[in-house]
Amino acid sequence: MFSSSSHFSPGLWTLAWRRLRADRVAMAALVVLLLFVAMLTASMSGWLANDWADEVGVNYAPPSFIGAQADAGSGGEAEPAAAEEPPENPLDPLKDVIRELRMEMGEANVTASAGESVGSEDSYGIADPLQAELAEIRGVQSSAAMHPASARKVTLPFGADKWGHDIIKKTIKGAETSIVVGLVAALVATVLGTLFGALAGYFGGRTDDFFNWFYSIFTSIPYLLLILAVAAVLQQKGVTTIILILGLTGWTGVFRLVRAEYMKHKEREYVLAAGAIGGSHLGRMFIHIFPNISHVALVQMSILAVGFIKSEVILSFLGFGVPVGMVSWGSMLNEAQNELILGKWWQLTAATGAMAVLVTAFSLFTDALRDALDPKLK
């Protein structure tokens, strides 16, 4: 009776794992993915990049391998140019007015320099209605520029953004957001798709018609349009909202495949036998059939995760994704778009590079996983 246990026959997962182990590309991709997971765990538990919001470098500090730039000096006050550059100075709401006044001064006397103090402007006898505000703003500006700037680094390993945040820490924090959104949304979509597919495929008939109708509705609206429509309706922003948007709209592919599998499996002997010994419908669906089709769901989930990571980046870029104050690769790209015109390319490169490595590894791994789980498919 126990003789069968002496010849051990490997199961689906063992066989798949063996095939996967033999695939060098898949193993390399897996190592990269594990590194990302380790980074994710570290940053979520607060060991890594928890202080990404600290302004450790000077504004737009370049990467160390380029060296400090001439115009990225330490002091803010000594540079008249810094006060004139519009996007850099969020502290100064009156800068247009001030500049206009200065232009008038310039016409009166060419030697009046833009960077001089308030006092010199007064000496020309033109009344400055904003003098008090100007002085106050100057004070705030110089104190803000002087004190932290002395402690800020001129260069950082991979540079800094507009506010002097370390790009590496930002990229790690952005990876956290993107990966968590991608994986959780893929899980939501897979669970929904599997549930619907199981019900439709197993029961058939009216139930199948209903879910097929539901499926045809969702597939006839282009995916991105559906995402945008749901984003328009869900007003509050946040990670949960993006996960809901992606999860609720992305289940259709899983549904189609899982439904086909259930239709195939429900007539098999083992399911009929389970029914004969009194297994309930739910039991047959999820205890007996599901383990036999779970590889389909797993591969689909992996494909979805890759797609969702990309979608999250686009949503966050457009401002429909993560809220202000959270960093994601999409919001980094959004900032980088303006920085590029100023010649600050490092944030763009960091976000693009991190994303490309993750997505490439993930897609290669998904392909290998699919081949390993279903060798006939090749």
Q: How far is CA 101 from the centre of its chain?
A: 44
Q: Does 15 bind another protein (CB under 8 A)?
A: no
Q: Is residue 190 within 8 Å of 116, Cβ to Cβ?
A: no
Q: How far apart are the first and last CA of the chain?
A: 38
Site for another protein in 131-170 (CB under 8 A): none
Binding residue for another protein, selected from 31, 66, 81, 224, defined by CB under 8 A: 224
Q: Among 93, 113, 318, 375, indicate the residue that binds another protein (CB under 8 A).
A: 318
Give me the numbers of helices (H) and strands (E) for the chain, helices first please: 16, 0
Q: What values do phi and psi take at 153, rounded to 5?
A: -85, 150
Segment lying near another protein (by CB under 8 A), choices 49-57, 133-141, 288-296, 361-369: 361-369
Smallest separation, CB 203 to another protein (Å): 19
* Among 46-54, 91-99, 187-195, 314-322, the segment contacting another protein (CB under 8 A): 314-322
Closest separation between CB of residue 156 and another protein, Å?
Answer: 22
186 forms part of the interface with another protein (CB under 8 A): no
Closest to 134 measured CA to CA, from 84, 88, 93: 93
Contact 147, 266 (CB under 8 A): no
DSSP 289: I
Give the Cα separation of 74 and 281 in Å (integer). 72
Give the C-alpha separation, 270 to 276, whole Å.
10
Stretch touching another protein by CB under 8 A, among 64-72, 92-100, 186-194, 312-320: 312-320
Q: Single out the segment in contact with another protein by CB under 8 A; choices: 63-71, 179-187, 221-229, 290-298.
A: 221-229
In our burial notation (b when 16+ CB lie closer than 10 A, e otherwise), range 332-357 reads bbbbbeebeeeebebbbebbbebbee
Residue 30 within binding range of another protein, rule CB under 8 A: no
Q: Which of residues 188-217 bind another protein (CB under 8 A)?
A: 213-214, 216-217
| Structure-token pair, residue 30 | 């897996």
Binding test (CB under 8 A) with another protein, winner from 26, 30, 226, 301: 226
Q: Which stretch binds another protein (CB under 8 A): 85-93, 143-151, 169-177, 333-341?
A: 333-341
Does the protein bind another protein through residue 253 (CB under 8 A)?
Answer: no
27: Cα separation from own chain's centroid: 24
Under the binding rule (CB under 8 A), the answer on residue 324 touching another protein is no
The answer to whether residue 333 forms part of the interface with another protein (CB under 8 A) is: yes
**Three-state secondary structure call for residue 165:** strand
Q: Give 195-211 as a DSSP string.
A: HHHHHHHHH-HHHHHHH
Which region among 7-15, 111-119, 150-158, 353-361 touches another protein (by CB under 8 A)? 353-361
Cβ neighbours of 103 (radius 10 Å): 12
Please report the DSSP string for 98-141 in residue order.
HHHHHHHHHHH-TT--TTS-HHHHHTTT---TTHHHHHHHHHHH
Closest CA to 114 of 89, 139, 91, 95: 95
Binding to another protein by residue 240, rule CB under 8 A? no
Nearer to another protein, 200 or 355 (CB): 355
Which neighbouring-strand residues pair with 160? 166
Could you tell me which of 231, 268, 271, 269 has the C-alpha nearest to residue 248? 231
Among 145, 243, 364, 368, binds another protein (CB under 8 A): 364
82 vs 359, beta carbon nearer another protein: 359
We find the least distance from the C-beta atom of residue 16 to another protein, in angstroms, to be 21
Question: Binding residue for another protein (CB under 8 A) from 76, 182, 250, 330?
Answer: 330
Q: Which of 52, 202, 255, 320 binds another protein (CB under 8 A)?
A: 320
**Is 70 or 232 the residue whose CB approaches another protein more closely?**
232
Name the residues that contact another protein, by CB under 8 A.
213-214, 216-218, 220-226, 228-235, 310, 313-314, 317-320, 329-330, 333, 336-337, 340-341, 348, 352, 355-356, 358-360, 362-364
